[in-house]
A and B are shown apart, each in its own frame.
Chain A
């Protein structure tokens, strides 16, 4: 087990290193001069040289990379000239909104995916199965931002069931006292049910828009795994012991079918946590994604560069947790098999 952990952690570090290198090189390879962007087209050559020196752009690439990594690790993620604030504090400010949407959407996605996969496999009714598979194909082919707009047109514009693109709470509404940074939980902690309900209502549409593609993928994966596992002889054995159909299915088919899905679930959560630029934009969600959108539009490279590394970190962290979880759950990963009788 210790070996597994060490191995996985080393792998994660390597992945982050690769991502940082990529982020660094891409930013350097892009056309355009950051100093020029900061100072505008009318800046004097002297001022440009000064700003380049200030940004360290006149040093060798290796030194620049070293500075970039060490300052990122020490918490200095650069300075946003468009928003006049340190990048890190911008991230800290925006991250709770992204976490909130990511977690809500993830739970929503997984719960519906599991429910539908079960529905289409447990009794094996061809009609239910067909509907679930059809729905998952549709979701697979729909881009999230387009779905977001579609949802807004239906549930906000036409039906008035759910709030429009106004962020986490209604315009002018006061945020609950911050404890976790997640509005629904903070509202519950403060005993403020109406704010809780409002924040949930605001979460529904963006969660669906964000989650549908992953949902489609997970449903199909889970369905295939469940079908495969339900043909395993150990299920017949379990039934032969006298277990009821559902008990045998729950105890033996579900855990075995979920294991391969765990990795995908981790990828999905990592993706959600890194913030979805387009979905946050559509719903005016004040998270990391919106921040990056603004940064790209205004060519604020410090934010974009920090974002690339940040999302890589999120991704790697979640997957590291999944890998460790995997080892904890699946004995075949944790314990070596016998070779001799």
Chain B
């Protein structure tokens, strides 16, 4: 099961689409997304709320619930397409090969089960022969691994006896328990205060390193991306509009949306320039996407250009000084050249 995909990636997503069908409206949460994840890669996925980040995470795990469904594409893991597996077969993949950490640690743990039971649950789900004592021992080790003191005693505590940061550590312990190849972290630090955020990030940093786990890190916090990730995908209306190495996004964002996102990050050096700019307008309704570029109505570049409303841009692969970049914009090449000169 340690095999990689043919192209050397641990996870390869091809043309993934997810729709939510309610009544006669179909909301396209993920639209034709493709990417490869290297075995040690940390891919940050950034975008506004409702851009399809979480839907993509759940799609990869096969956890999209009706009325939603994965409507197309392939998800290759270890050379096989897991998007075609039955729910039962997927059960063997979830937790063991691809694990999940969610945003809000206060709701991610069952309030009436002990921490220990919830950790052991993931072990037992994949190792039915596991003895009680051995399971407990491993649960203690896992808690120690995520820096929870008095782990043996705290195993029998309930979630409400843990602080938010500790609960998120438990969630991480459960996720890495079986050395998954891929960890999907859906805004794992968003609900935490800044100090705790930093601790959780450094913990993840260490564990991911130790366990050789590839990470898909979903966030809307670009600061966290710069700290933790080595590549980044900017998601807008269910599509990856720009994918690149992490340096590129911060030094020379090519897509106008990436640039706009970056401008929204508070930066002490730019304090003098007045209040933070905001991206004008709102993301379009995903059930009524405009033809052409979905960012056009808000785009500082294409707002008034007929071309942007008529034709949907294709992905341009551009070689930049800091590696290859994929940009979905009619002006990608011009903008990339402009940035490098």
A245 to B61, CA, bound (A): 13
Residues of B within 8 A of A234 (CB): 107-111
| Contact status of A256 and B125, CB under 8 A, knowing A234-B107, A237-B102 | no
Tell me if B91 counts as interface (CB < 8 A to partner A).
yes
Q: Are B99 and A240 in contact (CB under 8 A)?
A: yes
B181 to chain A, nearest CB (A): 14
Residues of B within 8 A of A259 (CB): 112
0/1 interface trace, chain A 244-255, chain B, CB 8 Å (1 if under): 110000011001
A255 to chain B, nearest CB (A): 5
A337 to B92, CA, bound (A): 35
A209-267 CB contacts (< 8 Å) to partner B: 232-234, 236-245, 251-252, 255-256, 259
Q: Are B63 and A236 in contact (CB under 8 A)?
A: yes
Interface size on B, residues (CB 8 A): 39
Residues of B within 8 A of A341 (CB): 163, 165-166
| Contact status of A239 and B63, CB under 8 A, knowing A332-B160, A338-B163, A341-B163 | yes
A330 to B110, CA, bound (A): 11
Tell me if A32 counts as interface (CB < 8 A to partner B).
no
A238 to B91, CA, bound (A): 11
Tell me if B206 counts as interface (CB < 8 A to partner A).
no
A203 to B263, CA, bound (A): 74
A233: contacting residue among B108, B161, B163, CB under 8 A: B108
Q: Are B107 and A241 in contact (CB under 8 A)?
A: no
A70 to chain B, nearest CB (A): 44
Tell me if A335 counts as interface (CB < 8 A to partner B).
yes
Tell me if A55 counts as interface (CB < 8 A to partner B).
no
Tell me if B93 counts as interface (CB < 8 A to partner A).
yes
A236 to chain B, nearest CB (A): 6
B24 to chain A, nearest CB (A): 15
A255 to B166, CA, bound (A): 24
Tell me if B58 counts as interface (CB < 8 A to partner A).
yes
Tell me if A172 counts as interface (CB < 8 A to partner B).
no
- Point out residues on A near B: beta carbons under 8 Å: 124, 232-234, 236-245, 251-252, 255-256, 259, 329-332, 335, 337-338, 340-341
- Point out residues on B near A: beta carbons under 8 Å: 58, 61, 63, 66, 87-88, 91-96, 99-100, 102-104, 107-114, 121-122, 125-126, 158, 160-163, 165-166, 171, 174-175
